[in-house]
Protein backbone atom coordinates (compact mmCIF):
# COMPACT_ATOMS: atom_id res chain seq x y z
CA UNK A 1 0.00 0.00 0.00
CA UNK A 2 1.47 3.39 -0.93
CA UNK A 3 2.07 5.64 2.01
CA UNK A 4 -0.57 8.38 1.79
CA UNK A 5 0.64 11.96 1.51
CA UNK A 6 1.08 13.44 4.96
CA UNK A 7 -0.91 16.36 6.16
CA UNK A 8 -1.56 18.21 9.38
CA UNK A 9 -5.32 17.92 9.40
CA UNK A 10 -5.68 16.56 12.92
CA UNK A 11 -3.35 19.18 14.30
CA UNK A 12 -5.19 21.95 12.46
CA UNK A 13 -8.58 20.75 13.67
CA UNK A 14 -7.36 20.64 17.25
CA UNK A 15 -5.71 24.04 16.91
CA UNK A 16 -8.91 25.59 15.57
CA UNK A 17 -10.77 24.34 18.63
CA UNK A 18 -8.05 25.37 21.07
CA UNK A 19 -7.84 28.77 19.40
CA UNK A 20 -11.31 29.61 20.80
CA UNK A 21 -9.83 29.49 24.29
CA UNK A 22 -6.33 30.94 24.00
CA UNK A 23 -4.97 34.29 22.89
CA UNK A 24 -2.97 33.44 19.81
CA UNK A 25 -3.14 31.00 16.95
CA UNK A 26 0.56 30.31 17.49
CA UNK A 27 -0.12 29.05 20.99
CA UNK A 28 -3.13 27.03 19.83
CA UNK A 29 -1.06 25.43 17.08
CA UNK A 30 1.75 24.65 19.53
CA UNK A 31 -0.63 22.94 21.98
CA UNK A 32 -2.24 21.01 19.12
CA UNK A 33 1.18 19.84 18.01
CA UNK A 34 1.97 18.56 21.48
CA UNK A 35 -1.35 16.69 21.57
CA UNK A 36 -0.92 14.93 18.22
CA UNK A 37 2.65 13.96 19.17
CA UNK A 38 1.68 12.40 22.49
CA UNK A 39 2.12 8.62 22.37
CA UNK A 40 -0.71 7.97 24.83
CA UNK A 41 -3.12 10.05 22.75
CA UNK A 42 -1.99 8.38 19.52
CA UNK A 43 -2.46 5.01 21.20
CA UNK A 44 -5.99 5.89 22.22
CA UNK A 45 -6.79 7.12 18.70
CA UNK A 46 -5.52 3.82 17.33
CA UNK A 47 -7.51 1.84 19.86
CA UNK A 48 -10.71 3.70 18.90
CA UNK A 49 -10.01 3.27 15.18
CA UNK A 50 -9.34 -0.45 15.65
CA UNK A 51 -12.58 -0.90 17.61
CA UNK A 52 -14.54 0.87 14.87
CA UNK A 53 -12.86 -1.15 12.13
CA UNK A 54 -13.83 -4.37 13.84
CA UNK A 55 -17.38 -3.11 14.39
CA UNK A 56 -17.02 -2.92 18.17
CA UNK A 57 -18.20 0.02 20.27
CA UNK A 58 -15.09 2.00 21.18
CA UNK A 59 -16.42 2.92 24.63
CA UNK A 60 -15.39 6.55 24.32
CA UNK A 61 -18.18 8.62 25.80
CA UNK A 62 -17.63 11.42 23.29
CA UNK A 63 -17.96 9.14 20.30
CA UNK A 64 -21.22 10.10 18.66
CA UNK A 65 -21.23 7.25 16.19
CA UNK A 66 -21.12 4.58 18.89
CA UNK A 67 -23.53 6.50 21.11
CA UNK A 68 -26.07 6.78 18.29
CA UNK A 69 -25.63 3.14 17.31
CA UNK A 70 -26.21 2.05 20.90
CA UNK A 71 -29.29 4.20 21.44
CA UNK A 72 -30.90 3.95 18.00
CA UNK A 73 -34.40 2.53 18.07
CA UNK A 74 -34.78 -0.73 16.16
CA UNK A 75 -36.13 -0.22 12.65
CA UNK A 76 -39.89 0.08 12.65
CA UNK A 77 -42.44 -0.40 9.90
CA UNK A 78 -42.47 3.36 9.37
CA UNK A 79 -38.76 3.35 8.47
CA UNK A 80 -39.09 0.66 5.87
CA UNK A 81 -42.32 2.02 4.35
CA UNK A 82 -42.25 3.47 0.84
CA UNK A 83 -41.68 7.20 0.49
CA UNK A 84 -44.63 9.47 0.01
CA UNK A 85 -45.08 10.84 -3.48
CA UNK A 86 -43.52 7.88 -5.21
CA UNK A 87 -45.17 5.93 -7.99
CA UNK A 88 -48.81 4.98 -7.27
CA UNK A 89 -48.84 6.82 -3.94
CA UNK A 90 -52.25 8.49 -3.82
CA UNK A 91 -51.67 10.35 -0.57
CA UNK A 92 -52.19 14.10 -0.70
CA UNK A 93 -49.44 16.54 0.37
CA UNK A 94 -50.43 19.46 2.55
CA UNK A 95 -48.59 22.58 3.58
CA UNK A 96 -48.57 25.26 6.26
CA UNK A 97 -46.96 27.79 3.98
CA UNK A 98 -48.76 31.18 4.00
CA UNK A 99 -50.70 30.49 7.20
CA UNK A 100 -53.35 27.89 7.67
CA UNK A 101 -52.80 24.28 6.63
CA UNK A 102 -54.17 23.45 3.19
CA UNK A 103 -53.53 20.93 0.47
CA UNK A 104 -50.59 21.61 -1.82
CA UNK A 105 -51.15 22.76 -5.36
CA UNK A 106 -49.64 20.80 -8.20
CA UNK A 107 -46.88 23.40 -8.70
CA UNK A 108 -45.60 23.35 -5.15
CA UNK A 109 -42.21 21.88 -4.47
CA UNK A 110 -41.33 19.18 -2.01
CA UNK A 111 -39.74 21.68 0.38
CA UNK A 112 -43.14 23.37 0.84
CA UNK A 113 -44.78 20.15 2.00
CA UNK A 114 -45.48 19.89 5.72
CA UNK A 115 -47.07 16.45 5.69
CA UNK A 116 -49.13 13.93 3.82
CA UNK A 117 -52.74 12.94 4.25
CA UNK A 118 -52.86 9.19 3.94
CA UNK A 119 -55.44 7.90 1.50
CA UNK A 120 -57.28 4.64 2.07
CA UNK A 121 -56.59 3.50 -1.48
CA UNK A 122 -52.84 4.11 -1.31
CA UNK A 123 -51.05 0.77 -1.62
CA UNK A 124 -48.15 2.00 0.55
CA UNK A 125 -49.65 4.19 3.24
CA UNK A 126 -52.91 2.86 4.61
CA UNK A 127 -54.31 5.33 7.13
CA UNK A 128 -53.85 4.45 10.78
CA UNK A 129 -56.84 2.51 12.01
CA UNK A 130 -59.24 4.43 14.18
CA UNK A 131 -59.40 3.00 17.68
CA UNK A 132 -62.83 1.49 18.17
Q: Which is nearer to Zn ion, 70 or 73 (CB)?
A: 70
DSSP state of 119: P
Residues that bind Zn ion (CB under 5 A): 58, 63, 66, 89, 91, 122, 124-125
**Least distance (Å) from Zn ion to the CB of residue 118?**
6
**Least distance (Å) from Zn ion to the CB of residue 89?**
3
Q: Which is nearer to Zn ion, 20 or 120 (CB)?
A: 120
Spatial contact of 63 and 49, defined as CB atoms under 8 Å apart: no
**Least distance (Å) from Zn ion to the CB of residue 109?**
18
**Least distance (Å) from Zn ion to the CB of residue 101?**
18
Q: Which is nearer to Zn ion, 26 or 42 (CB)?
A: 42
Spatial contact of 103 and 92, defined as CB atoms under 8 Å apart: yes
Alpha-carbon distance of 129 to 97, in angstroms, equals 28
Q: Which is nearer to Zn ion, 27 or 58 (CB)?
A: 58
- Identify the CA nearest to 9 among candidates 1, 90, 17, 77: 17
Alpha-carbon distance of 122 to 48, in angstroms, equals 47
Amino acid sequence: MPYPPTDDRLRHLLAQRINCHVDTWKLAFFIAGAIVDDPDIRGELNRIAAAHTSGQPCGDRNCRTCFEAATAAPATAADTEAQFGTEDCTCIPWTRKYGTPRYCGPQETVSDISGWERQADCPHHAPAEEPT
